[in-house]
Structure 1
């Protein structure tokens, strides 16, 4: 009796440990794969790197667009990206003599919306889906952006400056010599993906 009971107790103990392990693993996996609950708008609001871009979205009256269920990929300029942007043009768009002033009545919402929409592509694309050969994607603005890889980073540029205005009217005059780079990839929200970029990209 002693010889048969000890192995059985050992088996039960090991079996309990295995059972506990198999029960614990799915819980860990579930915790790692819980989908995000914050929208694109709320995600940017909670990330101080995007305060300037969110300010433009707010002035254009487009916050609810970023809370919609429709999936979007947002190439959002980080705050530092605005240091190299044409200040006079931004003031025209926001209707202010400074980045913090201006009334809602003086905001050029049509052109501001065109600029913001040039940073948005319908559908949710992770960075792994944007790598590889150069490609063009059509933005919500209606104009194309060109994506490529350079030094291990995804880059974006206006592929046809002066030929695609799409409601903005600048005709590519403010396009930078160097493409914008993705510097903060794959910030996932409930309705899309945000990729932080180091420049404002102009239609």
Structure 2
């Protein structure tokens, strides 16, 4: 009789051990729950600021150096929106020899800031917003003039070579010349 009691208790004991070892049954995850979990785990892509765009460009090293020297990086990384007419490295190199080096000297910071803010307009101005003969006020208080002929857009004679590089806080239009305020 004792032997029979052990034999009949054996299946119950094995079932208890199996449940304990395997843990509680897992709830099946629905496809919707999986998508939600994946979305939560994936960081949102953040659109780069106009400064980030310039920093990431192989053609705007001089502009980034100038913005850093003039302490304008934080300003142009702010909420904006801003429109920047961004001269390329080649545009800066076309200035008379020694001009860029001189502007980057600490004693010329105010002049450098004036030149750089002459390239910036308040608001997000897309290429389609520009019109021939349009006069636009810049952040330094001066004005620039837009010319459009044969599909080519120029700002004070500098040609826009790439337009509408949109960032989180504005837009960049790449130009092939440095704009100098009067």
State the TM-score, normalized to the length of structure 2: 0.71
Residue 71 of structure 1, CA deviation: 0.3
Change (3 A) 1:36 1:77: farther
Deviations 1:77-132 (A, max 9, x none): 0111112112333222112xxxxxxxxxx3521111000000000000111111x3
**Partner of residue 164, structure 2:** 186
Structure 2 unaligned residues grouped into runs of 5+: 1-43
CA distance, structure 2, for counterparts of residue 107 and residue 63 of structure 1: 19
**Partner of residue 112, structure 2:** 112
Structure 1 unaligned residues grouped into runs of 5+: 1-33, 96-105, 158-178
**Partner of residue 138, structure 1:** 137
CA distance, structure 1, for counterparts of residue 161 and residue 89 of structure 2: 12
Change (3 A) 1:36 1:154: farther
Deviations 1:45-104 (A, max 9, x none): 111111111110011111101110010000000111112112333222112xxxxxxxxx
Q: Secondary structure of 2:80's partner?
A: coil
One of 93, 103, 111 as aligned partner of 1:93:
103
Q: Secondary structure of 2:124's partner?
A: coil
Deviations 1:122-171 (A, max 9, x none): 000111111x33110000010000001023111011xxxxxxxxxxxxxx
**Partner of residue 15, structure 2:** none
CA RMSD of superposed structures (Å)? 1.7
State the TM-score, normalized to the length of structure 1: 0.64
- Higher radius of gyration, 1 or 2: 2
CA distance, structure 2, for counterparts of residue 115 and residue 35 of structure 1: 33
Change (3 A) 1:62 1:143: same
Matched-pair contact (CA < 8 Å) for 1:60–1:107 = no
